[in-house]
Amino acid sequence: MIDICLLGATGSIGQSTLEVVRLHPERFRVRALTANTDIEALFAQIREFKPSFAVIADESLEPVLLARVKTELPDLQVQILSGETALQAVAQDQATHTVVAGIVGAAGLLPTLAAVQAGKRVLLANKEALVCAGRLFMSEVERSGAELLPLDSEHNAIFQCLPYNKRYQPEVRRILLTASGGPFRGYTRAQLDEVTPEQAFLHPNWEMGKKISVDSATLMNKGLELIEACWLFGVSPETIEILVHPQSIIHSLVEYDDGSQLAQLGSPNMCTPIAHGLGFPDRISSGSAFLDLCSAPDLSFEKPDTETFDCLKLAIEAAKRGGSHPLYLNAANEVAVQAFIDGRIKITEIASLVEKTLKFAPDSEPVSIDEVIQLDGKARQHCLDCLNEIS
Ligand SMILES: NC(=O)c1ccc[n+]([C@@H]2O[C@H](COP(=O)([O-])OP(=O)(O)OC[C@H]3O[C@@H](n4cnc5c(N)ncnc54)[C@H](OP(=O)(O)O)[C@@H]3O)[C@@H](O)[C@H]2O)c1
């Protein structure tokens, strides 16, 4: 029996993970579930999966959750905890084998890192953790012997196309990171100026949380993924080429020196990479629909439009510059995306806020996690100052 800690259980990744877990009651047991504020969803999950621990990150909500559990599930042996320290503690819990990192944003860094430091198998969806602190994070993976498996569908595809256990691949010529192009593919700047958050949330192929949906609409998500891939696979940004593939059937490719391109294909459903990570190295059922290539749409490919979707251009530049640029890029993007969701700015202003914030980014890389947290706070403040000037 494999004990699982699910960080971000109430989100899209969390719910997809529980869909896979439901299919394999003989194989997986939920040891810990965490959420930020969504008590309703967390309570329903506690009732169904009967974990040993449930953490609500927002400390003010702990008494509410506790009272609900005591009244409605009086016989259940579950410890209700709250706050950042509790998130880290359940990620390190001795009995836990696998930690699914499904928290959104830099908020996921410390709990995910805690799991890594405890040498867990870590299924990584929380790409922002690697964008913020890639080198420090990967050196902890090396030091602790944690097993890091990518859940992002593209990175999971690349992982499947690389021989296992050989991170550095001199014979890899290129990694082709596919992108759907998002809901606004083909739009002009003028058209983009008019789009609403609700339109941005409607991704053509994937159902995801709000933040990643907006990132997919601006193509910032692909930029964050490029940075994530550099750290995961030990390659330079120049090795990675972004390929727009609107059908999201090929999830990425690896090109070798001999001219071979290996690809992973499947229906666009996160349960497939999640099942791959949960079962690894076994293959287990995911519940995803099987792909029927005869009835699948024709596959098409194009280059990304980095002039219209300038968030992607900024992310590629930040990846190449290194230092604290990826950290500043991510922090500013989180602030700007929230401002767009709140109706304070247009989607096209996300890139201008990120660009303005990046001017403050130090060329040096943070040398400790404390410094990452400190710089993340500074970058957010710079971005908020720029935001207050325009809205
Ligand atoms: N969704 C996908 O298909 C997909 C695919 C690839 C990669 N990813 C990556 O996976 C991560 C999660 O994405 P998602 O779409 O699942 O996001 P989501 O639906 O917004 O869920 C986020 C989860 O994180 C929790 N959370 C938010 N802020 C938190 C905080 N400050 N402290 C602790 N927990 C917090 C949320 O709790 P509440 O529910 O209580 O707010 C929720 O459980 C992101 O990094 C994303 O880029 C997602």
Q: Are 54 and 78 in contact (CB under 8 A)?
A: yes
130 lies in the same domain as 217: no
The answer to whether residue 156 is domain-embedded is no
pLDDT at 206: 79
The answer to whether residue 281 is domain-embedded is no
Structure tokens at 3: 């004990």
Q: Are 142 and 117 in contact (CB under 8 A)?
A: no
pLDDT at 110: 98
Structure tokens at 234: 């030990």
Scanning 173-243, the segments in alpha helix (DSSP H) are: 189-193, 197-201, 210-218, 220-233
pLDDT at 204 over 90: no
CATH of the domain at 24: 3.40.50.720
> What domain range is 47 assigned to?
2-151
Report CA-CA distances (Å) from 167 to 55, 145, 161, 235, 297.
34, 14, 12, 9, 33
DSSP letters, 22-55, are: HH-TTTEEEEEEEESS-HHHHHHHHHHH--SEEE
Nearest to 183 by CA among 146, 221, 157: 221
Omega within 30 of 0 (cis) for the link into 111:
no
The answer to whether residue 76 is domain-embedded is yes
97 lies in the same domain as 15: yes
The model's pLDDT over 265-301, given as tens digits with 9 standing for 90+, comes to: 999 999 999 999 999 999 999 999 999 999 999 999 9
The model's pLDDT over 106-139, given as tens digits with 9 standing for 90+, comes to: 999 999 999 999 999 999 999 999 999 999 999 9
Ligand 1 mean position to 373 CA, how many Å? Answer: 19
The total of structural domains in the chain comes to 3
The model's pLDDT over 140-187, given as tens digits with 9 standing for 90+, comes to: 999 999 999 999 999 999 999 998 766 556 789 999 999 999 999 999
pLDDT at 197: 96
The model's pLDDT over 334-358, given as tens digits with 9 standing for 90+, comes to: 999 999 999 999 999 999 999 999 9
Residue nearest to atom 13 of ligand 1 (CA): 104
The answer to whether residue 45 is domain-embedded is yes
DSSP letters, 265-292, are: E--S-THHHHHHHHHTTS-----PPPP-
Residue nearest to atom 45 of ligand 1 (CA): 126
Return the number of other C-beta atoms located less than 10 Å from residue 291's C-beta: 14
d(C-alpha 354, C-alpha 368), whole Å: 24
Q: Are 56 and 62 in contact (CB under 8 A)?
A: yes
The model's pLDDT over 12-65, given as tens digits with 9 standing for 90+, comes to: 999 999 999 999 999 999 999 999 999 999 999 999 999 999 999 999 999 999
Q: Which of 105, 124, 151 is the last residue of a domain?
A: 151
177 lies in the same domain as 133: no
Return the number of other C-beta atoms located less than 10 Å from residue 99's C-beta: 29
Identify residue 37 by its one-letter amino acid code.
Answer: T
Residue nearest to atom 32 of ligand 1 (CA): 36
For ligand 1, residues with CB inside 6 Å are: 8-14, 35-38, 57, 102-104, 107, 125-128, 152, 206, 208-209, 211-212, 270
Structure tokens at 11: 């989100």
266: Cβ contacts below 8 Å, ≥ 6 apart: 249, 251, 272, 288, 291
Task: Provide the β-strand partners of residue 56.
Answer: 35, 82
Helix, strand, coil proportions of the chain in percent (round to 5)?
Answer: 50, 15, 35
